Structure formats: structure tokens, C-alpha cells
Structure 1
Amino acid sequence: MAHDVARRIEEFGPELAEQAPENERLGKLSDRSAALLRSSGLMRLLQPREHGGLGGTPADFLEAVITAARHDGSTGWVAGVVGVHPWEVALFDPRLGQEIWGQNQDTWVASPYTPSGIAEPAEGGYILTGRWQFSSGTDHSDWVFLGALLGNGQGKPAMPPRMMHVILPRSDYRIIEDSWDVIGLLGTGSKDVVVQGAFVPAYRAIDHEAIASGAAADKAGLSDPIYRLPFSVIFPVGITGAIIGMAEGALAAHGAYQRDRVSAAGARIRDDPYAAYFTGEAASEIQASRVQLFDGITRAYDQVMSGRQVTFEDRSRIRRNQIRCAWRAVAAIDAIYARSGGNASRRTNPIQRFWRDAHVGLNHFIHVPGPTYHADAMIQYGLDVPDPLRMGI
């Protein structure tokens, strides 16, 4: 059943594409776009089986996200971000999964993970306060993952800093409605959320390091190898997968447009070898990005399936390549957009939407190359990687 999800998404493709302008107008996914995602099963691919999950592999998830983003960037982005959260819920106390999916197995969990709040220790849990940006798909979600720093009892971070992931129900946070005014990925509805002194029970909090290293699976007693994947390996898959899907969508739209396009001089563009050169080159770059992203997550999954640990060196290589996949794919979009003529910028032309969406998606922190490339280079040099460069790896 998991293998059928991408096919179902493809069947919904024309309607997903038709909804794209409405998603932009609303500043969030339309109810219809969200319903199509739910109906496809995409959001259940990584959900625990005991809560209606489909038992999908990371590759199943990646293929489905790429397929969704190929038709609408915002839909693919929400699928990639929100769709990975069920994987993390499984690492928490079983009470949490029951709270989220006990009444409705199609319930979504949003994020963000940036530690923009302070979690002060309290009896039985924590008191959380903060404001977070970029909560993609939050209007259609009833829970949210938030990154936080452990407090010192005085409203400041404890030292040394200790990052946590906490999760709250919709009643404990407020969505700031006018906080998503952007040029791309408009339909993701990635609004700010605010928490003012909400109590978070201890079982709804977990150390970031346990998630990042893959050690949380042991503590939770999970036998399925997928939960032994490090957070930094599986979390970026959906986000970068969405970028690649946007690139594939832009390439398809470019090809359809160039086929019948005529230049101002009356020449058919399809007969221009120079234009064709850039189309072919872009297609190869996008395919290379797809192959390399699949290679990274598949190798990591094979390692945990065989009982081997995904080491820091492995994580560094996977993250390095994952970042490069995104930048390569967006560069390919730039190349074809620049050669699609003035009409490519009309709002009725999907090429411009893919171009805008991909550039905004590239700004996600998971695509920042500097520290990760630096860390990977130090590994190549045979040197120890300092802690500041290990963040995100």
C-alpha cells in the first residue's frame, strides 16, 4: 500500500496543480489540497502502524513528496515538512501517539524546531514561553513540535545550552494570522506561533541530541529500524525532496512551453540548438539531484536495517550531498526560467511559481551550506570537527 502513494498523488496531480493559485491567494493550503494529501496516504507513510501508518520506507516518502511538489510546490513542501513528524512522534512516550491519533488518525502535527522558546522546569514537566517563525501547514494541524532551550529558572537558557523538542496541542498555542507575507511558498501558510506559559508534561518533551544521534529509538524500545535513523538524515529528506519536485515541475512546464513557443523574430524555439542545450543540461542536473538524494537516505536506511550505526561521518556526507542537491536543482530552475522568455513571468504561467517557491525553499536553514561543507572538509582532512560545526549534522 505504501508503494501506491506516489501513484495516487500523480492521479491527483492535475487537481493539485489547479489548486496552486488558490493556495497562494489564501496564504495556506486550500481545504481541497489538504484533503487530497490526506486521501493519498502520504502523511501516513511514516506514521506508526498502530495508529494507521502505512509502513513506508524513507524512499517511499521521498518519492511521494517529489511527486506532490512536481504539481504544486506549496503542497509538496507541506507534505515534506508535516509528513516527517509522525516518525518523531513514535520516539515519544506511547501516550502521545494516543493523544494525537486516538480519535483521528489523519491528524497533522506542524513544527518549527528552531529553539526560539524557553522551557522552564516545573513539577511534572516544563513551562514553555516563546515565539516561533515558519510553522508550515499549521492551519491544518492540531498539534505542533517546537524547539526550546532548557531554562535556568530565571527565564534564561541553562548553561551549557540544552536543546529540546516539545509538542503541544492546538489549545496551548496561538497562530499569528498575518505573519506569512512572502514571495514564494505562499500556499504553505508558514505562520508564526506563540506560546505564553503553557505547561508541557515531561512525556511530551525529548532531548534534541537523542533524536539527532538516533539513540532515542533504544530508549523508546522501538524495533523498527527506521526509527534508528538520525534526525538530521531523515528530516531534510522531505524538504529537499520538495525542492527537487519543484525543479521537475518547472522543467515539465518549460518543455511544454518551449515546444510551441515562437521568438519575436518568428523562429521556433524548439529549433534553437542553444536553447535546447540548456534544457538538456538542466534536465541532467535535476536528475542528478534526485539520484543523489535517494542514494543518501537509501544507504542510511540500509545501514540501520543491517544493524549498523549511521556515524557522524556518514551524517556529514549525507547532509553535504543533500544540501548540494537543493542548490543544484535550483540552479537548474534558474537556467530554464532565464530561457523561457518574458511570458514565463506571467502569474498564469506555472514556471514563475516554481521558480519563486524553489528560491524561498532554498532559504530554509537545512539548506545552508557553509558550516556543513566546512565540517565535511575537516573530516576529509582527518581533523576533529568542533561542536559549532556539528550543529545540524
Structure 2
Amino acid sequence: MGVVVEKNIAVPSTEELVQRARAMIPWLREQAESVEENRAVPPSTVEAFRRAGFFRILQPAAWGGYEMNPESFYRVVMEVGRGCPSSGWTLAILGIHQWEFGKMDPRVGEEVWGSDQEVLVSSSYAPLGKARKVEGGWMLSGKWPTSSGSEHAPGGAFLGARVYDEQGDFRDLRSFLVKREDYELIDDWHVVGLCGTGSKSLKIKTEAFVPEHRSHSFLDYQLGHGAATYQLPFNQVFSGVISSAIVGFAQGMVDVFIEHTKPKQNQFALGPNPAKNPFVQEKLGTAMLQIRSARGRILQCTQEAWAYAERGELVPLDVRVQQFLDVQATGKDCFSAGHMLFKKSGARGIFLNTPMQRQLRSLLAACNHITQNEDDFSAILGAFMLGEPIPPGVFGVPAPMQT
């Protein structure tokens, strides 16, 4: 069956989508505690995101999507993360995959969305699977951790694996879209933060066949088909959405801190009340600076890359290297901001029913994501600026061995 491009799709503006997300914040905050207790975002929340059009933001127009700039989705995720970190994270993960479809063979979109354009897929990109090449595709096996929102994803899952040649040398890092019936979910999500994301492990039952057109390289960055948004590099777009969620968590801490601090009166004989304490004021101002700086870097990098994509050009390597670090440093800056505020929240911040600690624990968990590894990447960028080569398998497919 051929791909039929949808006509007359009512595409909302970015500002309208952001306002829809912002309007959800009070409701999301009300249910955040129950989301953690149940260890998963409820179907009603996913349905609310669906009705708001959030899952269509990056979906190709051929299947009813808006195929917008990732900046639009990032800004929505930032707002949702302010209200409920687990809900924001689940939206980020389930909503970014629609963009990945735009990078792939159109047959994949038709297979998943041919009869239902609202089907979601999950993922676990950690390259822990074993992939072997066969005629017409790949055989994939293994077990993958932390597939966020997997209970809401009947369309299958993108799973990662390293590919080696016959000599055992690393050749590629690939994503494989596996059908839902080919794997089982393992309920092992018992964690300190982002407790409500339902990030269960996936295990392929025996060995799954994945046709060639349902796989793509993470590393082989090339111009593809379709709109400008699908010409952007995978690692930047995916890292950007994780970082956007983290910005939302940190901004949520600011929101709660201000609410808790404004009405408080000092209970001790000496010193001003917290709202008039210059040290509290300074920490709040510094935290806001760090969060806005991280947010600004994400959006600026997206805008810079978008200019190349609109011209039909690859984002140059030197730009990608710098942007990758810009985005990866989000976790460091936002956790620092959140921790400063937590230290100034007093004893009330440590109670489990206080939103402050939920936001901080979510920051703690999210900042351990591989996309927030700013230490290693600072060294890679520094070496690159001094004329050293990029390690193989970071921004490109390793060159063939010379014989």
C-alpha cells in the first residue's frame, strides 16, 4: 500500500500547543503523587496528551502529523515536566519516536499507522541486543532495561544493538523497530526517581526477525526524505528532548519553592523571614539563571541546526560536536539549581508528600541518563578543538579496516 499524504490537517501554532501544556500543570501536579505510587502514568493522562495533539507534533504529515520543528515539542515537554516529572518524561519518550519514523523508510509508518494513526511505540536504545544479519533484514535477541511508557505502546519498540563484522570489529550502532508480539515486559521498575514512568525491561522471547526497512543507523547521518525536521541528526534531537524534560523538572522546583517560600514566616527570634532573606533570594536568582541558560542552549542549538536543515544541508560536524555538549550539560546545570533550592527549603522539603523532593528525585534520576554525560563529552569536544579525531562510533560509522 502506498503512502497517502493527509490533506487539510489543522496544525496548531507552537504557542497554542505550549498554552495547552501549561494549562495542564495544576492537574498534573494534583495527580503526581498517585502516579508515583502506581509506578506508571495512567491511560487517562496519555489520552489527554493525545487529545491535545502532543503526539502529532513530530509525526509526519503523511500519517496525520504536524511534522513541526523539534523546538515545538521541546517547549511542550518543558511545561508538562513542571507539573509531573513522570508524565513529562513519558510524553518526551513516547512523543519523540514519531520523529524517528520520519527518518525511516515510509513503509514503516504505513505498517504501524496504516489503520490507526494514533498508535504509540516505546524504546530502549541502550545497545544491549545481539543483532545478526540475515537475508532481508536482521535477527535480534536480548533484554533491554528502562522502556518508559511501554504499557502504552502497542505499536512495538525501537531497540538498540551494536553491529560487528565477521572479524568482530564494531561497525555500527543501530535501532530496530520490533513488533509488540515479539517481546515481553518485565515489571522491574523500582527506583529512586521518575518512579511513575513505568520504565519496564523488555525481553525478546526467543529471536525476532526485523526487516531491513525497520532498522536504521544511529551514526550514519545523512539527508533523508520529507520535511526539514527529518534532516536533523538523531543524537541531537533525542538528547534535546531528554534535556527539555530535565529543564521542566527544574522549573517545577522553582514553582514549588516560590509557593512555599512567599507565605512563610520565620519561626525563630533572629533573622528575616525566608522571602526577605538575601541568601534565599540569591539562591533562587542563581537557580533561575542556570535553568534559563540550559533552556536557552537547547533552543538555540535547535534553531542553529534547523537553519541547515531548511537549506537541505547536513549540520556540519564541528557544529554538532559543540551542540551536543551544550545540550548534555543541561543535567549538570539543572540539578545544581534544584539542589540549591532544596537546601533552602528547610525540613518541609524532605517529606515524601512534598512536591519539592519529587522534582529533585526526578532530576537525580534523569541526570543519570546517558545523554547527560557532560564529563566525557567535554573531553571529546576539547580534544576535537585541539585537532584530535572524534572517537569512532560517536558521530559516524567507523571506517573499514585497511587490509
Aligned-partner SS, 1:300: helix
Match of 2:34 in 1: 22
The Cα shift of 1:390 comes to 4.9
Residues 28 and 271 of structure 1, relative CA distance in 2, 3 Å threshold: same
Q: Distance in 2 between matches of 1:152 and 1:318?
A: 31
Q: Say whether residues 1:78 and 2:90 are aligned partners.
A: yes
Q: 2:261 aligns with which of 244, 258, 262?
A: 258
Matched ranges for 1:1-393 at <5 A: 1-3=12-14, 4-142=16-154, 143-150=156-163, 158-177=168-187, 179-195=188-204, 196-210=206-220, 213=221, 215=222, 217-218=223-224, 222-265=225-268, 267-387=272-392, 390=395
Q: Distance in 2 between matches of 1:17 and 1:391?
A: 41
**Paired residue total:** 381
The Cα shift of 1:152 comes to 6.4
Aligned-partner SS, 2:124: coil
Residues 385 and 127 of structure 1, relative CA distance in 2, 3 Å threshold: closer
Structure 1 unpaired stretches of 5+: none
Bigger shift: residues 266-275 or 74-83: 266-275
Residues 387 and 149 of structure 1, relative CA distance in 2, 3 Å threshold: closer
Aligned-residue CA RMSD (Å): 1.9
Q: Say if 1:150 and 1:161, in contact at 8 Å, map to a contact too.
A: yes
Residues 190 and 376 of structure 1, relative CA distance in 2, 3 Å threshold: same
Aligned-partner SS, 2:109: helix
Aligned-partner SS, 2:170: coil
Q: Distance in 1 between matches of 2:71 and 2:390?
A: 30
Q: Distance in 2 between matches of 1:76 and 1:239?
A: 10
Q: Distance in 2 between matches of 1:334 and 1:391?
A: 36
Q: Say if 1:6 and 1:63, in contact at 8 Å, map to a contact too.
A: yes
Q: Residue type matched to 1:77 in 2? A: W
Q: Distance in 2 between matches of 1:243 and 1:8?
A: 19
Q: Distance in 1 between matches of 2:323 and 2:146?
A: 25
Q: Distance in 2 between matches of 1:209 and 1:282?
A: 35
Q: Say if 2:162 and 2:170, in contact at 8 Å, map to a contact too.
A: no
Q: Residue type matched to 2:55 in 1? A: M
The Cα shift of 1:352 comes to 0.6
The Cα shift of 1:280 comes to 1.2
Q: Distance in 2 between matches of 1:207 and 1:56?
A: 23
Deviations 1:247-290 (A, max 9, x none): 11100100010001233306521121221111111111111111
Residues 383 and 52 of structure 1, relative CA distance in 2, 3 Å threshold: same
Aligned-partner SS, 1:242: helix
Match of 2:5 in 1: none
The Cα shift of 1:359 comes to 0.8
Q: Say if 1:2 and 1:54, in contact at 8 Å, map to a contact too.
A: no
Residues 202 and 361 of structure 1, relative CA distance in 2, 3 Å threshold: same
Aligned-partner SS, 2:41: coil
Q: Distance in 1 between matches of 2:338 and 2:128?
A: 33
Q: Distance in 1 between matches of 2:330 and 2:217?
A: 29
Output the TM-score relative to the length of structure 1. Answer: 0.92
Residues 121 and 309 of structure 1, relative CA distance in 2, 3 Å threshold: closer
Aligned-partner SS, 1:86: helix
Relative to its length, the structure with more helix (as a share) is 1
Bigger shift: residues 29-38 or 328-337: 29-38
Deviations 1:63-119 (A, max 9, x none): 101011011111111122221111111222222111211222221111111111112
The Cα shift of 1:388 comes to 6.1
Bigger shift: residues 165-174 or 34-43: 34-43
Q: Distance in 1 between matches of 2:28 and 2:238?
A: 24
Q: Residue type matched to 1:233 in 2? A: Q
Aligned-partner SS, 2:246: helix
Identity of aligned residues (%): 27
Output the TM-score relative to the length of structure 2. Answer: 0.90
Aligned-partner SS, 1:162: strand
The Cα shift of 1:15 comes to 1.4
Deviations 1:146-183 (A, max 9, x none): 01233668xxx943343221001211111101x11001
Q: Residue type matched to 1:16 in 2? A: L
Structure 2 unpaired stretches of 5+: 1-11, 398-403
Aligned-partner SS, 1:227: helix
Aligned-partner SS, 2:125: coil
The Cα shift of 1:242 comes to 0.4
The Cα shift of 1:391 comes to 7.8
Q: Residue type matched to 2:377 in 1? A: T
Q: Distance in 2 between matches of 1:300 and 1:203?
A: 26
Q: Residue type matched to 1:25 in 2? A: E
